[in-house]
């Protein structure tokens, strides 16, 4: 069913200026890469195809609705209903006084001429230095005429600063008035129960796509598994292999094989079930295999030795020891039993008989030197 809106659109078609679109497209492509080290190239092949399509669409321009309706009626493919409607509209147009028709034509021409500059595509200047004329969208003002002081208002920079300030205050208001209301939504921490022994970890990049956001990690303690004997727990640890951390007694597994988080989590859950089932299977309990912990490096926990702390008791003990040592020294000194190395040497030298120096012939010395 053809609506009058369809015809209105058809009528307005002549004033639709496709060069505007083209200009916008070119502008967009420039904006996409404000800084580029590669040379500017003309549009690619698919772009040119689009352009042809546009060209086909605008190959005819109509000055007034009468021209358009005549062209429309010449078309063979329209339905009878459309034809009747268009014929009636053409009759209406013909009954419009000729001066009004001429006025309409004149208006169209004027609008076209006046908007020609706006519709002209914006091209990068060939001799510009790094597109210096380009509009910078990151600045807080648009930089156009911002230094012109009209004596009636603040400068544009001041307005921009105020705007920035307003923005800060807006967020501060949110933080003060609205954020505390979030605490109403807070839920008290519920420690996991005996049944919830699997701890899953998910990763989100806050809605952004990331290859790691599908990854799910599960951790659990084999001793928490209900209904497992000690031997079955040991077998579970052996099954886990290098995923078992003997220092923390935790098995940690991850999966990012599937596309969605839920799939990966399901896989891990199934895997844990399978491992527990295998651990319970008594056919082979891996008793001949010792638990392998070669993958794990045990970190020695160095602690300050307890015996080294200088407690009051220890201080008094040391004091007593030192006093006793000094007493022992003093006792020995009074007895003359304290041994002095230097003194011993002096006494030994005094006691030793000093030999007469033996004269040596000098000639022998000289010959020795030669």
Please tell me what DSSP assigns to residue 48.
H
The candidate with the shortest Cα–Cα distance to 145, out of 156, 133, 158, is 156
* Interatomic CA distance for residues 104 and 367, integer angstroms: 138
Cβ proximity to another protein, 277 vs 310, nearer residue: 310
Please tell me what DSSP assigns to residue 253.
E
Backbone phi, then psi, for 200, in 5-degree steps? -100, 145
CB neighbour list of residue 144: distance below 8 Å, 6 or more residues apart: none
Q: Which residues bind another protein (CB under 8 A)?
A: 290, 292, 294, 322, 325-326, 328-329, 332, 338-342, 344-345, 348, 366, 370
Distances from the Cα of 131 to the Cαs of 33, 189, 268, in angstroms? 11, 57, 55
Cβ proximity to another protein, 8 vs 345, nearer residue: 345
Cβ proximity to another protein, 128 vs 321, nearer residue: 321
Cβ proximity to another protein, 207 vs 290, nearer residue: 290
Number of other residues whose CB lies within 10 A of the CB of residue 72: 19
Find the shortest distance in angstroms from Cβ 352 to another protein. 9
Find the shortest distance in angstroms from Cβ 356 to another protein. 19
* Interatomic CA distance for residues 63 and 113, integer angstroms: 13
Cβ proximity to another protein, 267 vs 286, nearer residue: 286
Find the shortest distance in angstroms from Cβ 228 to another protein. 23
Find the shortest distance in angstroms from Cβ 278 to another protein. 22
Find the shortest distance in angstroms from Cβ 288 to another protein. 10
Number of other residues whose CB lies within 10 A of the CB of residue 127: 4
Find the shortest distance in angstroms from Cβ 197 to another protein. 29
Cβ proximity to another protein, 206 vs 365, nearer residue: 365
Q: Which helix (H) or strand (E) holds 52?
A: helix 45-57
Beta bridge partners of 244: 251
Cβ proximity to another protein, 18 vs 328, nearer residue: 328
Question: What length is written for the chain?
Answer: 370
Hey, what are 225's tokens? 């598994």
Find the shortest distance in angstroms from Cβ 229 to another protein. 22
Find the shortest distance in angstroms from Cβ 311 to another protein. 20
- By CB atoms closer than 10 A (0-12, 13-18, 19+), residue 236 is buried
Cα maximum dimension of the chain: 159
């Amino acid at each position: 069913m053809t609506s009058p809106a369809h015809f209105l659109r058809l009528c307005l078609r002549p004033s639709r200026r496709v060069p505007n679109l083209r200009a916008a497209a070119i502008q967009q492509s420039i904006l996409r890469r404000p800084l580029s080290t590669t040379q500017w190239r003309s549009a690619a092949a698919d772009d040119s195809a689009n352009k042809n399509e546009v060209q086909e669409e605008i190959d005819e321009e109509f000055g007034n609705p009468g021209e358009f309706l005549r062209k429309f009626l010449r078309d063979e493919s329209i339905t009878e209903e459309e034809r009747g409607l268009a014929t009636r509209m053409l009759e209406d147009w013909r009954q419009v006084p000729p001066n009004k028709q001429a006025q309409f034509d004149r208006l169209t021409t004027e609008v076209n001429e006046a908007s020609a500059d706006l519709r002209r595509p914006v091209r990068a200047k060939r001799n510009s230095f790094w597109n210096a004329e380009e509009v910078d969208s990151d600045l807080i003002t648009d930089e156009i005429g911002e230094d012109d002081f009209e004596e009636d208002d603040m400068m544009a920079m001041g307005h921009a600063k105020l705007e920035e300030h307003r923005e800060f205050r807006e967020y501060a208001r949110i933080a003060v008035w609205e954020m505390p209301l979030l605490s109403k939504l807070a839920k008290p921490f519920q420690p996991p129960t005996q049944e919830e022994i699997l701890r899953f970890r998910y990763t989100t990049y806050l809605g952004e796509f990331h290859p790691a956001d599908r990854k799910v990690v599960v951790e659990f303690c084999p001793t928490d598994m209900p209904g497992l004997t000690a031997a079955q727990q040991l077998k579970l640890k052996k099954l886990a292999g290098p995923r078992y951390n003997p220092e923390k007694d935790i098995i940690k597994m991850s999966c990012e094989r599937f596309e969605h988080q839920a799939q990966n989590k399901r896989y891990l859950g199934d895997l844990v079930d399978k491992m527990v089932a295998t651990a319970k299977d008594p056919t082979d309990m891996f008793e001949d295999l010792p638990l392998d912990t070669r993958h794990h490096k045990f970190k020695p926990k160095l602690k300050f030795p307890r015996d080294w702390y200088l407690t009051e008791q220890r201080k008094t003990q040391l004091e007593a020891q030192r006093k006793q040592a000094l007493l022992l020294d003093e006792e020995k000194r009074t007895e003359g039993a304290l041994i002095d190395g230097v003194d011993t040497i002096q006494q030994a030298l005094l006691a030793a008989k000093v030999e007469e120096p033996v004269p040596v012939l000098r000639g022998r010395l000289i010959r020795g030197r030669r």
